């Protein structure tokens, strides 16, 4: 079991996240643990992309795309695209994701799995890690189908969402231990660019991630990149933080109102049924 309380760079930072996922073994571990399939091979499709919104030049999101060969539990092998996107502090950024996914559909016929790593919480979604899956349903016979077709697979996709603020100190499964690296606490200072990883390390892949992040927290060149991004984040927070906090507050209120309306509709339907 490896040493605890290691100083590491915060992987929610773009520069750190990029360096971490450029490591082939880490990328394989991250993707295979999240989607529950054995990753046989992986290749970065292109350098990471940072998208800057045309109307609001200060808002951006990061995206990395991989071509991955996976093995299913039944032994079948297939190639898929992993589209990994990351947004940091404001839920407004999530709306930018949709327009980039459409471009990927046009550029390749391989099935796509989207992974979203978020530095904020989505209203009403309490879990730290969520899968939004697909199923084939026969509307004529009204039953689930055990089937797959390339045409369908290339037009629809599964999604996985990681909400880093909701990660807890649970370490029961490989997924728990992977997510523990992204846990947002034990920061060294208010910039939140570095933090202490205070969990026992029993997985070789997690140890490699922690080792990389420890190096990035101390290496002069990596620190310079981190400081540049930190400066940008502070500017973004000072300039737009109040506005987006208000948007998030309104989103929370809207979600609560929609949930209340849904419950009232259920009660109304029950009353109408027995009246």
pLDDT digits (tens, 9 = 90+) for 114-138: 899 998 888 888 899 999 887 777 7
Higher pLDDT, 62 or 71: 71
pTM score above 0.95: no
| Cβ 182 vs Cβ 21: under 8 Å | no
Compute the distance between CA of residue 245 and CA of residue 3 in angstroms, rounded to an integer.
Answer: 38
Q: Mean pLDDT across the chain, nearest whole number? A: 78
Of 37, 18, 25, nearest to 79 by C-alpha is: 37
User: Which range, 2-6, 175-179, 261-265, has the best average confidence (pLDDT)?
Assistant: 175-179
What pLDDT, on the 0 to 100 scale, is given for residue 250?
Answer: 67
Q: Is 249 left (phi over 0), alpha (psi -120 to 50) or beta?
A: alpha
What pLDDT, on the 0 to 100 scale, is given for residue 260?
Answer: 73
What pLDDT, on the 0 to 100 scale, is given for residue 87?
Answer: 80
Of 218, 144, 210, 148, nearest to 11 by C-alpha is: 210
Residue 135 C-alpha from the chain's centroid: 22
Phi, psi angle pair for 244, to nearest 5°: -75, -25
DSSP single-letter state for residue 169:
S
Compute the distance between CA of residue 76 and CA of residue 209 in angstroms, rounded to an integer.
Answer: 29
What pLDDT, on the 0 to 100 scale, is given for residue 58?
Answer: 45
> What are residue 49's DSSP bridge partners?
63
Of 6, 3, 2, 1, nearest to 196 by C-alpha is: 6
Helix (H, G, I), strand (E, B) or coil at 143: strand
Name the pLDDT band for 104 (thresholds 50, 70, 90). Answer: low
Asked if the model's pLDDT at residue 94 lies above 80, the reply is no
Compute the distance between CA of residue 142 and CA of residue 151 in angstroms, rounded to an integer.
Answer: 22
What pLDDT, on the 0 to 100 scale, is given for residue 187?
Answer: 92
What pLDDT, on the 0 to 100 scale, is given for residue 161?
Answer: 92
Name the pLDDT band for 72 (thresholds 50, 70, 90). Answer: confident
Calculate the alpha carbon distances from 70 to 75, 148, 161 in Å.
9, 16, 20
Of 24, 19, 90, nearest to 61 by C-alpha is: 90
Compute the distance between CA of residue 147 and CA of residue 136 in angstroms, rounded to an integer.
Answer: 7
Instruction: Report, as an integer, the average pLDDT of 1-25.
Output: 85
Compute the distance between CA of residue 275 and CA of residue 273 in angstroms, rounded to an integer.
Answer: 6
> Would you say how long the chain is, in residues?
275
| Cβ 197 vs Cβ 12: under 8 Å | no
pLDDT digits (tens, 9 = 90+) for 193-244: 899 999 999 999 999 999 999 988 887 566 666 666 565 555 455 555 555 5
Residue 133 C-alpha from the chain's centroid: 15
């Amino acid at each position: 079991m490896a040493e605890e309380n290691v100083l590491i760079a915060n992987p929610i930072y773009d520069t750190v996240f990029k360096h971490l996922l450029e490591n082939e073994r880490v990328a394989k571990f991250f993707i295979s643990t999240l989607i529950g399939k054995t990753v046989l091979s992986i290749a970065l499709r292109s350098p990471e992309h940072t998208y800057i919104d045309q109307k609001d030049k200060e808002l951006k999101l990061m995206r990395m795309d991989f071509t991955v060969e996976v093995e299913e539990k039944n032994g079948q092998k297939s190639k898929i695209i992993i589209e990994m996107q990351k947004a940091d502090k404001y839920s407004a950024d999530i709306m930018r994701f949709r327009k980039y996914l459409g471009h990927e559909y046009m550029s390749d016929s391989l099935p796509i799995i989207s992974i979203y790593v978020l530095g904020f919480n989505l209203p009403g979604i309490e879990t730290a890690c969520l899968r939004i899956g697909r199923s084939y349903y026969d509307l004529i016979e009204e039953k689930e189908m055990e089937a797959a077709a390339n045409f369908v697979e290339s037009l629809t996709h599964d999604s996985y969402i990681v909400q880093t603020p909701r990660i807890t100190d649970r370490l029961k499964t490989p997924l728990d231990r992977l997510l523990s690296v992204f846990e947002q606490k034990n920061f060294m200072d208010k910039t939140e660019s570095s933090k202490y990883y205070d969990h026992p390390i029993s997985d070789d892949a997690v140890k490699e991630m922690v080792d990389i992040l420890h190096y990035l927290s101390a290496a002069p060149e990596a620190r310079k990149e981190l400081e540049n991004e930190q400066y940008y984040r502070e500017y973004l927070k000072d300039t737009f933080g109040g506005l987006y906090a208000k948007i998030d507050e309104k989103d929370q209120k809207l979600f609560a109102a929609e949930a209340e309306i849904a419950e009232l509709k259920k009660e109304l339907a029950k009353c109408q049924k027995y009246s």
